[in-house]
Structure 1
Amino acid sequence: MRQALFRVTLAVAVASALFLSPGSTVAQGGSPGQRGGQETADGLLARQGDGSYQPVTYDPDKAPFGLRANNWVALKGPNLSGRWPGQTGANAQHFARFENPAYAIRGFVDLIRQYQVRHHARSAADFLGRYSPAGDCSGAPSVPPAERREGGGCPENEKTPPVSAVRAARAVGLGPTDDLDLFGADGRISHPDRLRALLDAVVTQELGPGVCPQPPRGETWIGCRVDDRLYNRAAELLDHGG
């Protein structure tokens, strides 16, 4: 896949309880000392009350694992013994740590492409139903975040598209079971805006309400966005096999 066809331009920016546990790793690119000791997550933007998006700031002692580990999409290792490019380790639940969040985004796009090629995923519900398997509590619409359980156990997700799938589809004017047509037969991205919406919806869901505003069901906005510079860096890594 060629970089020029993968990369989205500036004009196209679109809009598990375990994963949210605090720890000690500090996210790459943070700027210590801002706002009374808070840091800035370089490349991550959160929606403000006026609808604009501004850089995310966080307390490194209280931030979710995904933010501290540069893994905003909650990727686990590609298999029991392997590692994604740029992965530096993992926690006890196998969620990966990355040297830079661009590597996690690169891994996410690569995995989504594999879902289409190998598993014939087409819709937001297909992609994210596989990404968060049936019964996983992440995004279960009737389970409040404080009640989500280790190991899943949310059967409503077996019949209802994850909230993240609904958000991603609505952000680009589609339904959760509509064909996103993300990749062509040659593996090149057909609709970068739809891929970006899918990515941003997953980031919003996985980093959670302490970092990303959670839109009510029915709203078309998404709480967090990966900025174009970081997304393009992930595209370059994937294009060059890094």
Structure 2
Amino acid sequence: MTHPRSRAGLAVAVSLALFSTSAAVAQDRSAVQRAGEQTANGLLARAGDGSYGPVTFDPDNAPFGLRNNNWVALKGPNLTGRWAGQTAANSQGFASFEDPAYAIRAFVDLVRQYQDRYKARSAADILGRYSPAGDCSGAPSVPPAERREGGGCPENQTTPPVSAVRAARAVGLRPTDDLDLFGPGGRVEHPDRLRALIDAVVTQEVGPSHCPQPPRGETWIGCRVDDGLYNRAIELLDKRG
């Protein structure tokens, strides 16, 4: 003879069914959220074990640089001009690019101009010009929420930008050492040093939400541009001069 379920048994069964349905809905939502994320192709972030893996981001909440293929936070070349591959600029003048390779290409071009025009050859000189002393970006003593352009941070007026320290340490140099980046005709003489400079700026400008921020005493850099994207940027630079 089959016995009918007790009320308690029915309540448990209903609760389990509701829990299973809720869990399935939550999994579906999570899958949708993951599906909405994008991969910053060519950008790698350092994991806890020292390996590097792809950077993913939510386009609705990511920093401007990730959403607009401008990992180096580059502004337009002047008030009306545009870099190759630049598609727009925001109200502060920060550029959007159709491909991050164009942003890296523009950054390298600008660094080459710094060497040619201003004899800026060290990481401290290059990035001191790229991130002026009045910019609080990278000043460790200033809370992240208070770092802003034109902040007038005294620390950045007397010491090299943190990105310059990181770039130099990564290649065994001091921030004030000559990087000797470009030779005759603008040829890249030391790709390892140039890439360390790029990676240090990318790490700083993308920021801690997606790029780990190493302490000043460390030689590792939180994010790096992969070989394929770097090579494409140099090819674009060579084509356009």
- TM-score of the superposed pair, with normalisation by structure 1: 0.84
Aligned to 1:201: 200
In structure 1, distance between residues paired with 2:71 and 2:225: 9
1:80-91 aligned at under 5 Å gives the runs 80-91=79-90
Q: CA, structure 1 residues 124+33, in 2 after alignment: closer, same or farther (shift >3 Å)?
A: farther
In structure 2, distance between residues paired with 1:36 and 1:69: 19
1:92-131 aligned at under 5 Å gives the runs 92-131=91-130
Aligned-pair identity (%): 82
Say whether the 8 Å CA contact 2:72–2:107 is kept in structure 1. yes
Please state how far the C-alpha of 1:149 moved relative to its aligned partner. 2.9
Aligned to 2:161: 162
Instruction: Give the superposed CA RMSD.
Output: 1.5
In structure 2, distance between residues paired with 1:235 and 1:153: 34
Q: Which amino acid aligns with 1:174?
A: L
In structure 1, distance between residues paired with 2:209 and 2:95: 20
Higher relative contact order, structure no. (Cα contacts within 8 Å, ≥ 6 residues apart) = 1
In structure 2, distance between residues paired with 1:150 and 1:116: 24
Aligned to 1:211: 210
Q: Which amino acid aligns with 1:81?
A: T
Say whether the 8 Å CA contact 1:33–1:39 is kept in structure 2. no
Q: Which amino acid aligns with 2:180?
A: D
1:32-181 aligned at under 5 Å gives the runs 35-181=34-180
Please state how far the C-alpha of 1:185 moved relative to its aligned partner. 3.3
In structure 1, distance between residues paired with 2:38 and 2:185: 41
Please state how far the C-alpha of 1:121 moved relative to its aligned partner. 0.5
Say whether the 8 Å CA contact 1:135–1:156 is kept in structure 2. no
**3-state DSSP of counterpart to 2:185:** coil
Point out the structure with max Rg over C-alpha.
2
In structure 2, distance between residues paired with 1:146 and 1:197: 26
In structure 1, distance between residues paired with 2:145 and 2:230: 31
In structure 2, distance between residues paired with 1:111 and 1:33: 40
Between the two proteins, the alignment pairs up a number of residues equal to 211
Q: Deviations over 1:85-104 (max 9, x none)?
A: 00000001000000010000
Q: Deviations over 1:8-49 (max 9, x none)?
A: xxxxxxxxxxxxxxxxxxxxxxxx968353211111000001
Does 1:187 pair with 2:206? no
Q: Which amino acid aligns with 2:129?
A: R
| More moved, 39-48 vs 143-152 | 143-152
Aligned to 2:232: 233
Please state how far the C-alpha of 1:144 moved relative to its aligned partner. 2.0
In structure 2, distance between residues paired with 1:130 and 1:198: 13
In structure 2, distance between residues paired with 1:151 and 1:92: 16
Please state how far the C-alpha of 1:124 moved relative to its aligned partner. 0.4
In structure 1, distance between residues paired with 2:147 and 2:84: 30
User: Would you tell me which structure has more helix in proportion to its own residues?
Assistant: 2
Please state how far the C-alpha of 1:60 moved relative to its aligned partner. 1.1
In structure 2, distance between residues paired with 1:120 and 1:142: 30
Q: Which amino acid aligns with 1:225?
A: R
**3-state DSSP of counterpart to 1:89:** strand
Gaps of 5+ in 1: 1-31
Gaps of 5+ in 2: 1-30
In structure 2, distance between residues paired with 1:183 and 1:102: 19
In structure 2, distance between residues paired with 1:240 and 1:185: 16
In structure 1, distance between residues paired with 2:237 and 2:77: 15
Say whether the 8 Å CA contact 1:46–1:56 is kept in structure 2. yes
Please state how far the C-alpha of 1:138 moved relative to its aligned partner. 1.0
Say whether the 8 Å CA contact 2:200–2:221 is kept in structure 1. yes
| More moved, 205-214 vs 185-194 | 185-194
